[in-house]
Structure 1
Amino acid sequence: MLTTSILDPILSRFIREGSLDVTFADGKVTRYEGSKPGPHAGLRFVTKAAERGFFLNPGLAFGEAYMDGGVAPQGCTLYDLLHVLMLNAMYSSGHVGEALSAATRMVRRRWIQFNPESRSRRNVAHHYDLDERLYRLFLDRDWQYSCAYFRTGNETLNEAQDAKKHHIAAKLKLDRPGLSVLDIGCGWGGMALTLARDYGAVVTGITLSTEQLQAARARAAEAGLSDRVRFELLDYRQVCTRYDRIVSVGMFEHVGIGHYRTFFDKVRDVLADDGVALIHSIGRNDGPGTTNPWIAKYIFPGGYSPSLSETFAAIEHSGLWVTDCEVLRLHYARTISIWRERFAAHRADAAKIYDERFCRMFEFYLAGAELSFRVQGHMNFQLQLTRSIDAVPFTRDYMVDEERAALARIARP
């Protein structure tokens, strides 16, 4: 009863919007209702340990309790439950445990995000060296593990991921064949192969994932593009060659705030004098913050979604020009929603590859990630960078023209 009596006033203050029915481990049922209308969900604490964890460090313990069966949605889906919790977490709730945990993370965030080369490789391996069969279950045909681009909102996942690549290519101003391109954090090679096949670029993709490296090289050989695309296991800090263009999609989130200056200084140093770079990253619409501790432990160790203020401060010191900035607000929410649906449809296959606890971890990750874009201010940004003030035209009309022309070329039979 002690935990219940402690949690009751906390939950009463916590729920400001919508409502939450809570069944405690001792069987007591209480409804917590906010002053604003909103979504409704039900939560059941299966164990007293889960209740204690929710009191002491909910940001970490709640996800762990779900993985271990200590908490469960009741009369609703996991997504519904997280929707209520994450929506209300945006208010000042007076939760002592979470406030102390957040303050500690803020003080320690430079250490938590300290990503020298050896640590960066371990962090990347933790998530990206998972069995490739897992990613085949929910990603698109090109294995794009980053925000898609929905030009109308009605595209399929394949269409939206193709559109994302051509949207980025237009910003790279690939106005002649043979341009050299560096792809930092190349994933399974889809962007690099697209730039070589559809734009005549000569691409070098670098990654710290051995699994992705093998897959990317195999895909280049299968597509007959090995003479135009090569992939290397290399940290961005070790790049020495200069390139006409640089692209980086979904990698900046893994750099770490203490390394932003190093990252943008490296982009400046290896970009040609008249070159163009495009950085695509998850970001946050408020000020500097920290990474959720459950995400940091189980999904992306060393990862962080930066604010624009932190990012621009580092760019300013590098001497690079920000020649274009675009914020994509709900595109990633839509992308992850499709991933979540596809993962759920193939959940039994995922359990055969790993186990039930892994599946619970992954569905918790996907639901929470989607909601971070819907209710917690996360977004994506694309920054176009140059060394020279006149490396790109006066206006951004050329981007729109090139994107439409590229899509028209590809659509022809």
Structure 2
Amino acid sequence: MLATWLFDRLIKLGDLTIIDATGRSYRFQATESPKVTIRITDPGLHWKVFRNPQLAVGEAYMDGKLVIEEGTLEEFLAIGVSSLRASHSDGMLEVLTRLRSLLASFSDFNPVGYAKRQVAHHYDLDGRLFDLFLDSDRQYSCAYFAKPEDSLEVAQRRKKLHLAAKLLMQPGHAVLDIGSGWGGLGLTLAETDGVTVTGITLSEEQHKVSNQRAEAAGMADRASFHLRDYRHERAKYDRVVSVGMLEHVGKPHYRTFFRRVADLLKDNGVAVIHSVGRFDHPGPVNAWIRKYIFPGSYVPTLSEVTKPIEQSNLFITDIEILRVHYAETLLAWRKNFYRNIDKVREIYDERFCRMWEFYLAACEIGFRSGELMVFQIQLSKQMDAVPLTRDYIAEFEAAHTVAETPKRLHRIS
């Protein structure tokens, strides 16, 4: 098998047996567990795995050309992720990785218009799909598990309140939510502190649902949502929040993004940016994820973000790293997805189901392995815009009851 050389150098964890398309077995053992056996049914896959393992493995699983005969998908991915991380010390493999990184960098360009098309690829899917695995408020970002026993509902409510605490909102403040999703965060902020919220999104489906929810909740006078690129927003705001948006901005546009944040903030304004980040080193998003799940996405390291922030004349007043919170979030999503898999099949085909199984499992492993994390960066235009200590965060959270999502958000039409 052509990829034998590659796997010999790659495997640093587990006991992996590969049965190729001719029926011949190859065993690569670094540790006793996890123990996984996979079968490849397509001879053409051998070369594809050698050329681009990230892309080829995901496609093969989607197409049923890679079958797991022993162990689980999660265990197989754990072996792969840990081995790819270890490969950076291998000179030849590092050259291949750098070459793929260079090629991927050409797709980070994300101008107005093109950005909207890329957002539509994922966020304009059938809304019934998201109801089958997300919480009832349809929060599609990292939850905040303050206690091990927290349900997904409670953890997502905690996430929203955690962000609200860092925004230091006051009654009468105008708040901008960049990348406002289905409106859950904006509606929560509007009802929590008596502020008015403007949400902007590039997803037509999210835009429609957000305004429907605001209207149904009798909050249209306090929360409005618009189909608009952040580069086209012109009003001034007391507070700016952005959750899960920076990953879609594109690395070449970071300076533009943070300059827009600075321009949109009033002089005493505060912003909070919540984003997936990389722990290790700059590099492209997994090739399979970029092609099938989030086209045009890029996950930054902190070092890639802090420089454009500094160039935008913003003060970094707080940084918090959420480590395994997203892994726990993805685990909850994956359990919900598996539990409702028959309902997903009624909406999409089997290949789509396998694609999303792979997506949710791969992302969870990425956060558990120490490759990925989430950061929340608090920014201001004045150094004294926030208190000198972080006590205000705990005080705010203690003053707000964390319970299941309010009834008004329980069903998205």
TM-score range, shorter chain: over 0.9
Whether the 8 Å CA contact 2:285–2:297 is kept in 1: the answer is: yes
Matched, 1:244 2:234: no
The equivalent position to 2:136 in structure 1, one of 138, 141, 148, is 141
Runs of 5+ unmatched residues, structure 2: 407-413
Matched, 1:352 2:346: yes
1:10 partner amino acid: L
Matched, 1:51 2:46: yes
The equivalent position to 1:119 in structure 2, one of 114, 121, 126, is 114
SS in 2 for 1:301: coil
1:324 partner amino acid: D
Distance in 1 between the 2:371 and 2:43 partners?
32
Aligned counterparts, 1:3-402, within 5 A? 4=1, 6-34=2-30, 36-92=31-87, 102-174=97-169, 176-402=170-396
SS in 1 for 2:171: coil
1:239-259 deviation digits (Å, cap 9, x = unpaired): 110000000001010001100
Aligned-pair distance for 1:21?
1.4
Change (3 A) 1:261 1:380: same
Distance in 1 between the 2:401 and 2:262 partners?
30
1:159 partner amino acid: V
SS in 1 for 2:172: coil
2:18 partner amino acid: V
Deviating above 4 A after TM superposition, structure 1's stretches of 4 or more consecutive aligned residues are 93-101, 408-412
Distance in 1 between the 2:403 and 2:78 partners?
42
Distance in 2 between the 1:258 and 1:314 partners?
10
What TM-score do the two structures reach when normalised by structure 2? 0.94
Aligned-pair distance for 1:106?
2.2
Runs of 5+ unmatched residues, structure 1: none
Aligned-pair distance for 1:37?
5.0
1:14-73 deviation digits (Å, cap 9, x = unpaired): 212221011111111232111x45422111111111222111211111111111111111
Distance in 1 between the 2:67 and 2:147 partners?
36
Aligned-pair distance for 1:201?
1.1
Distance in 1 between the 2:403 and 2:349 partners?
45
Aligned-pair distance for 1:304?
1.0
What TM-score do the two structures reach when normalised by structure 1? 0.94
1:85-130 deviation digits (Å, cap 9, x = unpaired): 1121111279999756532332234421100011100110000000
Aligned-pair distance for 1:177?
1.1
1:272 partner amino acid: K
Change (3 A) 1:139 1:19: same
Distance in 1 between the 2:37 and 2:119 partners?
35
Distance in 1 between the 2:123 and 2:158 partners?
23
Number of aligned positions between the proteins: 406
2:383 partner amino acid: I
SS in 2 for 1:135: helix
